[in-house]
Amino acid sequence: MTKNVKWGLIGASRIAAEWIIPAIKATSGNEVVAVQGGDGPRVAEYARTHAIDRAFTSVDELLATDIDAVYVSNTNEKHAPCAMAALQAGKHVLGEKPMAMTLDQAEAMVALARDKGLVLAINHHLRGMNTHRKLRELVESGALGDLVAVRAMFGVLLPEANRGWRTESAEAGAGVFFDLTVHDADTLQFILGEKFTRVAAITSNNGISTKGIEDGVAIVAQTASGLTVQITESFAVEHANTSLELHGKKASVFAEGVLLQRPGGKLELSVQGERKEIPITHENAYPRVIEAFAAAVRGEGRPLVSGEDGLAALKFAIAARMAAESGRAVSI
């Protein structure tokens, strides 16, 4: 009988409560046995609410238990130090995005996981959405022909409950680059099957974020094959759907209501201007993240998004920020 993967949560977060804990509970062979948070009474209540046996205020105390893996979902600046501590303690790691605040931190994480023979994965869950997987299939199969243009729109009105440090604290990694750009970079590199090599960007502040912290960005990027991609991201867009467009020499595909946490969205294939909807069976992507991670822990395959994949997405986001700051295109 296969041993259960025992999970510890570093960060008593909303995303863990709404998505990861249910996904772990829904995935056979996985269980959440411990949680850590900085506020003792709050983390104790969090543990009671989610039927988690043990609650800690110390990361080291949690890592000293018999857990096999951790899910790291505290504020951005803590992701890398907590992941490194977990890897040093011999625990497998599923980290939230961005995996780190700097490339040096991210590269150290990847190297340590490799040296210790541990699984390091990053929760870019959008790879697990059936809409995005279908887009990848269309590209890989040649159904669209050679791509000539790609456009992505990830514009939302960031809910008040999700603001706080995400819009106010540069030290904690606020702004769209670490919240949206890393996700879009990973998703697009997955769909297109190639990495970005060059990027330019212009940022904006529309009053959602504190002055000096971007809440919008327009990005133009180029892939290794020379394909040009336009990406618009914003915390201040209230009245539009998130969308992706892939335009090829044989056909175009339009995706609306994609790039989000919840399953959903619509795909339409367009040939000579005539659109036909592509049937999609929608599924929650988070159990797919947990299933792939647990299989990798057992030595069966790889996580949905590896540490190396997360590093590639972070490289893009940091290069885009550098491009916006310098006013020049940046090579990746």
Confidence tier at 1 by pLDDT (50, 70, 90): very low
Cβ atoms within 10 Å of 64's Cβ, excluding its own: 11
The answer, yes or no, to whether residue 62 has pLDDT greater than 50, is yes
Point out which residues pair with 255 in neighbouring strands: 244, 267
Domains of the chain: 5-125 (3.40.50.720), 126-285+315-331 (3.30.360.10)
Give the pLDDT confidence of 106-129 residue by residue, as tens digits: 999 999 999 999 999 999 999 999
Note the pLDDT of residue 172: 85
Point out which residues pair with 121 in neighbouring strands: 94, 306
Give the pLDDT confidence of 229-264 residue by residue, as tens digits: 999 999 999 998 999 999 999 999 999 999 999 999
User: What SS3 string covers the chain?
Assistant: CCCCEEEEEECCCHHHHHHHHHHHHHCCCEEEEEEECCCHHHHHHHHHHCCCCEEECCHHHHHCCCCCEEEECCCHHHHHHHHHHHHHCCCEEEECCCCCCCHHHHHHHHHHHHHHCCCEEECCHHHHCHHHHHHHHHHHHCCCCCEEEEEEEEECECCHHHCCHHHHCHHHCCCHHHHHHHHHHHHHHHHHCCCEEEEEEEEECCCCCCCCCCCEEEEEEEECCCCEEEEEEECECCCCCCEEEEEECCCEEEEECCCCCCCCCEEEEEECCEEEEECCCCCCHHHHHHHHHHHHHCCCCCCCCEHHHHHHHHHHHHHHHHHHHHCCCEEC
- Average the pLDDT over 255-276 and give the result: 96
Note the pLDDT of residue 2: 63
Across the chain, mean pLDDT equals: 97
Give the pLDDT confidence of 65-106 residue by residue, as tens digits: 999 999 999 999 999 999 999 999 999 999 999 999 999 999
